[in-house]
């Protein structure tokens, strides 16, 4: 069954090292929490808010063993007034047998505010 696995995190600074580091941590937790294999992933979309422009967060997937050929794309998030700043969002589309309501969506740092209903115990 094809499922979307959501993830989001925030950074403190618009700095390449932090953007890449926080993205990699998020992706690795998404993979681990849902037992995802790269060969089962159709594609990954990564969006960033307009205040993040020092790195392409999608590049970190190429550093994860086995993930080099997974199609991934970065894009700009809609600039909504009063929206969460310095935010990186991920939508990973994969084939897993997990029922929709049991998919583990991962929200870290300030991004826990985006979907508190999906954050276990109200915290990431």
Structure tokens at 102: 């049991």
Indicate whether 27 belongs to any domain. yes
Note whether residue 123 is domain-resident: no
- Residue 21 belongs to domain spanning: 2-117
Distance CA 75, CA 41 (A): 19
67 part of a folded domain: yes
**In this structure, is residue 65 part of a structural domain?**
yes
User: Residue 8 pLDDT > 90, yes or no?
Assistant: yes
Q: What is the structure's pLDDT at 116? A: 79
The DSSP element (H or E) to which 7 belongs, if any, is strand 2-10
For the chain, how many structural domains are there in total?
1
| pLDDT attached to residue 108 | 96
Identify whether 122 is part of a domain. no
At 57-78, the pLDDT tens digits run: 999 998 899 999 999 999 999 9
d(CA 78, CA 76): 7
**Which residue, among 31, 91, 81, 34, has the nearest Cα to 58 in the 3D structure?**
91
Instruction: Please state which of the ranges 6-15, 55-64, 108-117 shows the lowest mean pLDDT.
Output: 108-117
* CA nearest to 21, candidates 76, 88, 107: 88
For residue 95, the SS3 value is strand
Instruction: State how far the Cα of 104 lies from the Cα of 102, in Å rounded to an integer.
Output: 6
115 appears as a binding residue in the annotation: no
What does the pLDDT look like over 17-41, one tens digit per residue? 999 999 999 999 999 999 999 999 9
Whether 59 maps to a domain, the answer reads: yes
Q: What is the CATH number of the domain that holds 68?
A: 3.30.1330.40
6 annotated to a ligand binding site: yes
pLDDT band with cut points at 50, 70 and 90 for residue 120: low
Taking the CB of residue 68, how many other CB atoms lie within 10 A of it?
10
The answer to whether residue 55 sits within a structural domain is yes
Q: Tell me the pTM.
A: 0.92
**Mean pLDDT of all residues in 6-10:** 97
């Amino acid at each position: 069954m094809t499922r979307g696995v959501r993830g989001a995190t925030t950074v403190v600074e618009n700095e390449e090292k932090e953007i890449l580091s926080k993205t990699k941590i998020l992706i690795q937790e998404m993979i681990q929490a849902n037992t995802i294999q790269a060969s089962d992933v159709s594609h990954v979309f990564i969006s960033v808010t307009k205040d993040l422009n020092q790195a392409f967060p999608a590049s970190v997937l190429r550093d994860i063993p086995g993930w080099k050929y997974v199609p991934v794309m970065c894009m700009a998030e809609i600039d909504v007034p009063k929206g969460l700043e310095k935010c990186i969002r991920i939508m990973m589309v994969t084939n897993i047998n997990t029922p929709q309501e049991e998919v583990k969506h991962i929200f870290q740092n300030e991004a826990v505010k985006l979907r508190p209903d999906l954050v276990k115990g109200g915290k990431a």
